[in-house]
Amino acid sequence: MKTNIEIIKEAATPMLLLEIEEVFCNLDEQDFEEAFRIVSERSDEEGWEYLKIPCRRVHIALGEYVEISPEQISEWGGGFARPWDFQYKGKRYQWAGIGRK
Protein backbone atom coordinates (compact mmCIF):
# COMPACT_ATOMS: atom_id res chain seq x y z
CA MET A 1 0.00 0.00 0.00
CA LYS A 2 1.33 3.42 -0.95
CA THR A 3 1.97 6.06 1.67
CA ASN A 4 0.16 9.41 1.56
CA ILE A 5 3.41 11.08 0.51
CA GLU A 6 3.78 8.70 -2.44
CA ILE A 7 0.17 9.31 -3.45
CA ILE A 8 0.56 13.08 -3.21
CA LYS A 9 3.74 13.04 -5.31
CA GLU A 10 2.12 10.76 -7.89
CA ALA A 11 -1.21 12.63 -8.17
CA ALA A 12 0.08 16.19 -7.91
CA THR A 13 0.82 18.23 -10.98
CA PRO A 14 4.38 19.46 -11.43
CA MET A 15 3.11 22.99 -10.72
CA LEU A 16 1.62 21.90 -7.37
CA LEU A 17 4.80 20.05 -6.37
CA LEU A 18 6.87 23.11 -7.23
CA GLU A 19 4.59 25.32 -5.12
CA ILE A 20 4.88 22.96 -2.15
CA GLU A 21 8.65 22.89 -2.44
CA GLU A 22 9.03 26.64 -3.00
CA VAL A 23 6.73 27.69 -0.18
CA PHE A 24 8.05 25.10 2.22
CA CYS A 25 11.72 24.69 1.33
CA ASN A 26 13.97 22.21 3.08
CA LEU A 27 11.19 19.72 3.67
CA ASP A 28 11.82 16.35 5.17
CA GLU A 29 9.47 13.46 4.51
CA GLN A 30 7.41 14.08 7.66
CA ASP A 31 6.66 17.68 6.68
CA PHE A 32 5.72 17.00 3.05
CA GLU A 33 2.13 15.90 3.71
CA GLU A 34 1.57 18.80 6.08
CA ALA A 35 2.99 21.18 3.47
CA PHE A 36 0.49 19.84 0.93
CA ARG A 37 -2.37 20.37 3.40
CA ILE A 38 -1.33 23.99 3.98
CA VAL A 39 -1.04 24.69 0.24
CA SER A 40 -4.44 23.01 -0.24
CA GLU A 41 -6.03 25.31 2.34
CA ARG A 42 -4.44 28.31 0.65
CA SER A 43 -5.98 27.30 -2.69
CA ASP A 44 -9.24 28.84 -1.41
CA GLU A 45 -7.56 32.24 -1.00
CA GLU A 46 -7.22 34.97 -3.59
CA GLY A 47 -4.13 34.54 -5.72
CA TRP A 48 -3.88 30.80 -5.05
CA GLU A 49 -7.00 29.65 -6.96
CA TYR A 50 -4.90 28.09 -9.73
CA LEU A 51 -3.99 25.32 -7.28
CA LYS A 52 -7.58 24.37 -6.41
CA ILE A 53 -8.05 21.70 -9.12
CA PRO A 54 -4.59 20.13 -8.66
CA CYS A 55 -5.25 19.92 -4.91
CA ARG A 56 -8.66 18.35 -5.46
CA ARG A 57 -7.06 15.74 -7.70
CA VAL A 58 -4.71 14.81 -4.86
CA HIS A 59 -7.57 14.69 -2.31
CA ILE A 60 -9.44 12.28 -4.62
CA ALA A 61 -6.34 10.10 -4.95
CA LEU A 62 -6.00 10.06 -1.16
CA GLY A 63 -9.61 8.85 -0.86
CA GLU A 64 -10.68 11.95 1.04
CA TYR A 65 -13.32 12.80 -1.56
CA VAL A 66 -15.47 10.08 -3.12
CA GLU A 67 -17.62 10.07 -6.22
CA ILE A 68 -21.37 10.32 -5.72
CA SER A 69 -23.38 7.82 -7.70
CA PRO A 70 -26.34 8.88 -9.86
CA GLU A 71 -28.55 6.91 -7.44
CA GLN A 72 -27.33 8.99 -4.49
CA ILE A 73 -28.05 12.17 -6.42
CA SER A 74 -31.55 11.00 -7.41
CA GLU A 75 -32.29 10.03 -3.77
CA TRP A 76 -31.27 13.47 -2.56
CA GLY A 77 -34.41 15.22 -1.40
CA GLY A 78 -33.44 18.69 -2.54
CA GLY A 79 -33.08 21.57 -0.18
CA PHE A 80 -30.70 24.45 -0.28
CA ALA A 81 -27.41 22.60 -0.48
CA ARG A 82 -26.41 20.14 -3.16
CA PRO A 83 -25.10 16.75 -1.98
CA TRP A 84 -21.68 17.16 -3.64
CA ASP A 85 -18.79 19.49 -2.89
CA PHE A 86 -17.41 19.86 -6.42
CA GLN A 87 -17.31 18.40 -9.91
CA TYR A 88 -14.14 17.14 -11.53
CA LYS A 89 -13.99 15.70 -15.04
CA GLY A 90 -17.78 15.39 -15.16
CA LYS A 91 -18.05 13.48 -11.88
CA ARG A 92 -19.44 14.79 -8.61
CA TYR A 93 -17.50 14.33 -5.38
CA GLN A 94 -18.29 14.68 -1.70
CA TRP A 95 -16.11 14.62 1.40
CA ALA A 96 -15.64 11.04 2.56
CA GLY A 97 -15.22 12.09 6.15
CA ILE A 98 -12.04 10.08 6.38
CA GLY A 99 -8.49 10.28 5.17
CA ARG A 100 -6.02 7.56 4.36
CA LYS A 101 -3.73 6.60 7.17
- Distance between alpha carbon 16 and the CA centroid of its chain, in Å? 11
Residue 100 lies in a domain: no
CA angle 17, 21, 23 (to 5 degrees): 115
Bridge partners, 91 (sequence order): 88
Tell me the whole-structure pTM to 2 decimals. Answer: 0.79
Helix axes 52-61, 4-11, angle to 10 degrees: 140
Query: pLDDT digit string (tens) for 37-72?
Result: 989 999 989 999 999 999 999 999 999 999 998 888
Residue 101 lies in a domain: no
Residue 21 lies in a domain: yes
pLDDT at 101: 39
pLDDT band at residue 6 under the 50/70/90 scheme? very high
Residue 52 lies in a domain: yes
Q: What backbone torsions phi and psi does residue 89 show, to the nearest 5 degrees?
A: 50, 45
The domain total for the chain is 1
Contact (Cβ atoms closer than 8 angstroms) between residue 30 and residue 5: no
Average confidence (pLDDT) over 14-33: 81
Beta strands in 1-101 (DSSP E): 65-67, 86-88, 91-95
Residue 91 lies in a domain: yes
- Containing structural domain, residue 49: 4-95
Spatial separation of the C-alpha atoms in residues 34 and 68, rounded to whole Å: 27
